[in-house]
Amino acid sequence: MLASGPGGATDAFAVSGATVTVWRLKPKATVWSKVQTISVPVQYGSSS
């Protein structure tokens, strides 16, 4: 998912299993930088 970040930057959220990583592309930048990694508790096998 992409979202507007601070100061005109663009944030990208990448999900892999129970981990969310936030990447940021600042205005006029040519590379993304990792700004945050979050582990989210997930109950695997739950149907609710």
pLDDT at 16: 92
pLDDT at 46: 63
Domain spans in the chain, listed from the N-terminal domain onward: 2-39
| pTM score of the predicted model | 0.78
pLDDT at 43: 80
Could you write out the DSSP letters of every residue in 13-42? EEEETTEEEEEEE-TT-SS-EEEEEEE---
pLDDT tens digit string along 1-48?
999 988 999 999 999 988 999 999 999 999 999 999 999 888 877 666
